[in-house]
Structure 1
C-alpha cells in the first residue's frame, strides 16, 4: 500500500477550458491505467469540446453543472449524478451559469499498444452552445 502525497491544485489550461477551472490529481495513472481528477469549475466555466479514447465517467460531488454533446443536447447535473461518456463521443462539461460545480473525472489511459491520443481536444464551446441548457 502507498499513500500518495497530495499535489498542489493546477489551473486548467486556457486551451482546454473557458473560465476559471482548477483540478486536483487524485490518481495519476502511474501504476495502473485508471486516472481520477477532482475538477472545480467557477460559475460559467466549462471544458472545450473533447473526446476520450476509452471513455470518461463524471461524478458530481457538489454544485450544479451542465454537460452537452455534439447532437445539441445539454443536461443539468447535480451532486450524486454520474455521467458516462462513451469512447469517441465529443462532449463538454462545466458549471451552471450561477453555480460552482465540482466533479470527479474518471478515465482510463491508453492500453499497451493502443494508438492515438488519450484525450483529443477541439474548439471551445460557444456561448450559444452553452446557452442551450434547460432553464
Structure 2
C-alpha cells in the first residue's frame, strides 16, 4: 500500500471548456482515471466522447448533462450518470450553482468536439428529482 502524491489542481483548458473549471487528478493508472472536477456556475465541457465510456458521481451542486441523442438532465448530489463508449455528451454546472463531480473513465481515448452553444446550454431540461 502507498499514499499517492497528487499533482496540483489544474485549471482546465478553454479549448475544451466554456467558463472556469478545475481538476484534481485523484488517480491515473495504466487503465483507469479518477478526477475531481469543479465547475463555476455556467461552466461546461465541450461536446466529447470517451472510447470506453465515462461515469460521473455528482458530489455537490447542480449538474447539467446531455447526450447528442437526448435532452438535458439536471443531476444532483449522489446521482451517478454513465455515458457508454463513443456517446457524444457534455456536462457542466447550472447557471446559478457551482458543481463538483467525480469523473471516472478508462484509458485516454477522449475525442473533443465543438463547444456547447449558449442556446444548447439553455435548452429544456428534466430533473432527477421527483419533487
Q: TM-score range by the shorter chain?
A: over 0.9
In the TM superposition, residue 72 of structure 1 has moved relative to its aligned partner by: 4.3
CA shift digits 1:51-95 (9 cap, x unpaired): 000000000011111001112410101100000000000000000
CA distance in 2, matches of 1:109, 1:72: 25
Structure 2 equivalent of residue 25 of structure 1: 25
5+ unaligned residues in a row in structure 2: which ranges?
Answer: 127-131
Matched, 1:119 2:110: yes
CA distance in 1, matches of 2:28, 2:96: 31
SS in structure 1 of the partner of residue 60 of structure 2: strand
Q: 1:108 aligns with which of 106, 109, 131?
A: 106
Structural mapping, 1:1-135, within 5 Å: 1-29=1-29, 32-109=30-107, 118-134=109-125
SS in structure 1 of the partner of residue 33 of structure 2: strand
Segments of 4+ moved more than 6 angstroms: none
CA distance in 2, matches of 1:53, 1:83: 16
Kept in 2, the 8 Å contact 1:66–1:95? The answer is yes
Kept in 2, the 8 Å contact 1:72–1:129? The answer is no
Kept in 2, the 8 Å contact 1:70–1:91? The answer is yes
CA distance in 2, matches of 1:133, 1:23: 28
CA distance in 2, matches of 1:97, 1:131: 9
In the TM superposition, residue 133 of structure 1 has moved relative to its aligned partner by: 3.9
In the TM superposition, residue 28 of structure 1 has moved relative to its aligned partner by: 1.2
Kept in 2, the 8 Å contact 1:68–1:91? The answer is yes
Give the structure with the larger strand fraction: 2
Bigger shift: residues 47-56 or 125-134: 125-134
In the TM superposition, residue 5 of structure 1 has moved relative to its aligned partner by: 1.3
5+ unaligned residues in a row in structure 1: which ranges?
Answer: 111-117
